[in-house]
Structure 1
């Protein structure tokens, strides 16, 4: 599992290098996809380079920018890479830095390895179910996996605070989420504090321990959550479906996730 983790880190760093070249030097060339979500040249460049790294493992790849693989073909996959080459394209376009590269390994519907890299913030979160979850900071895309592994902190980091921290999306704070937070305010013995951040960094805040709960009552796709879910699981926490007593599952025929709560 360690070698596959290194491969995933290497792929994420390579994808981030392509993204940062566009971020710093080029027109984003924003297009609109069929679901009205934005697509930039950075998404495409990152997808291509990540794919080239992961293909060396011989494990199938399902990426947001290459997702039109028929279910009849992928339903037989017991193990595959799940990739979002640029999670938080809206944040990328806004230039607020809160976007990530997500690489996950899924086995039998469960995330077992994940890498979430935020190149502008220079933070990387990664983990697997054998070794646990980790964070490293001040990480540039030019780093090597070995240099990153030599200076990590294990997650979750102990957090002592007087508030119950709830992480919520900057772009998707809808009525269901507001109602959920209101219920927490009534039931919690601590004051509730809302923390906002973009992309899959929301899951990572729970894995880290800076947030206690992340409720998501809005649409997400499997590639949005797979890597962060793996980090959360490796940190000893869960991503539970709202209407079912089980965690999110992957490689469904419909790749849309149900609503979920991370804690």
Structure 2
């Protein structure tokens, strides 16, 4: 059966899924997918001047290679998979999904093309429209973030594909791993700043005086708030569900929130339209 169309038996509860091997598979999948991406990223013959996802662009090849690795590993869990590379699953097929994987095989398109290293592999476990667990891997630095809502969040360095949540707990850092900066700190997109974001930052300057701004790519922006390296990450531009789900789970597990700007309600997933509203990652709201 095609894993994209499998429906998992909803009689299993969250604690069963969280504590079985499924999430360890997600950890391994992010790392192995990251290795495939690095093979292309580090290829001196790859033409990174192709910025769009043309069939033979390094970006497209890396996306597809990572997607294939992740699907091959996660299909053994029996859960459906919604990925940026498999995003055309009809609403009629996915509207009754109780629990599923939400995947971005390569988050940070512009950072990958610029070769600045700020791109990630993202895998989230969604249950009833909420992210309950997430894994983010940074291939260039070999940094791993993971979180389970109600259990905690962690950051590990130099982990290999044999990593489990238990080893990450024992060898990594619990998040948030540091105290908040004395100067009010915001994270901004390295490649997607706009007028709305600048106005929000200006309002924070008026409220807090001096404001420090960190520019960062991909889901690393959410991770910085989860770590306490920044107070907030406002996003007033288009993002898709797979861009935020893993980071949302990690932030939630670290005691932060990912909320809509208009209602202050948490972002929801597996909507008919997969576009996110404007949101803020914060510990304050």
Shorter-chain TM-score above 0.5: yes
| Aligned with 1:201 (options 220, 231, 242) | 220
**What CA deviation, in whole Å up to 9, does each residue of 1:155-204 have, x standing for no partner?**
1123153201100001111111111011111112x521001110000000
Match of 2:252 among 209, 223, 233: 233
User: Is the alpha carbon distance of 1:4 and 1:130 closer, same or farther for their aligned partners in structure 2, counting shifts above 3 Å?
Assistant: farther
Range 22-31 or range 63-72, more displaced: 22-31
Change (3 A) 1:169 1:204: same
CA contact (8 A) 2:241 2:274 kept: yes
TM-score (normalised: structure 2)? 0.86
Which deviates the most, 123-132 or 103-112? Answer: 123-132
- How far the C-alpha of 1:39 sits from its partner, in A, is 4.3
In structure 2, the residue matched to 1:24 is 42
1:242 aligns with 2:261: yes
Tell me the distance in 2 between the aligned counterparts of 1:73 and 1:122: 36
The aligned residue for residue 103 of structure 2 is: 83
The root-mean-square deviation of aligned C-alpha atoms, in Å, is 1.8
Q: Are positions 1:162 and 2:182 aligned together?
A: yes
How many residue pairs get aligned? The number is: 257
1:14-48 alpha-carbon deviations (Å, 9 max, x no partner): 111110111122526857359xxx94200000000
Q: After superposition, what is the alpha-carbon deviation per residue over 1:129-175, rounded to whole angstroms, capped at 9, x for unaligned?
A: 13211101234xx4421354441111112315320110000111111
The equivalent of 2:277 in structure 1 is 258
Where does the alignment leave 5 or more consecutive residues of structure 2 unmatched?
1-17
**Contact 2:108 / 2:118 at 8 angstroms: preserved in 1?**
yes
Deviation at 1:259, TM superposition (A): 0.2
Question: Could you tell me which residue of structure 2 aligns to residue 211 of structure 1?
Answer: 230
Q: Confirm whether residue 56 of structure 1 aligns to residue 69 of structure 2.
A: no
**Structure 1 residue runs without a partner (length 5+):** none
Name the structure 2 match of 1:220.
239
The change in CA–CA distance for 1:192 and 1:13 in structure 2 (over 3 A counts) is: same
Q: Superposed, which structure 2 residues align to 1:115-126 within 5 Å?
A: 115-126=135-146
Check conservation: 2:27, 2:161, Cα contact below 8 A.
no
Counterparts of 1:126-145 in structure 2, within 5 Å, are 126-139=146-159, 142-145=160-163
Q: What is the DSSP-based 3-state SS (H/G/I as helix, E as strand, rest coil) of the residue aligned with 2:113?
A: helix
Contact 1:166 1:211 in 2 (8 A): yes
Which of 27, 30, 36 is the matching residue for 1:12? 30
Normalising to structure 1: TM-score of the pair?
A: 0.93
Deviating above 6 A after TM superposition, structure 1's stretches of 4 or more consecutive aligned residues are none
CA distance in 2, matches of 1:238, 1:245: 9
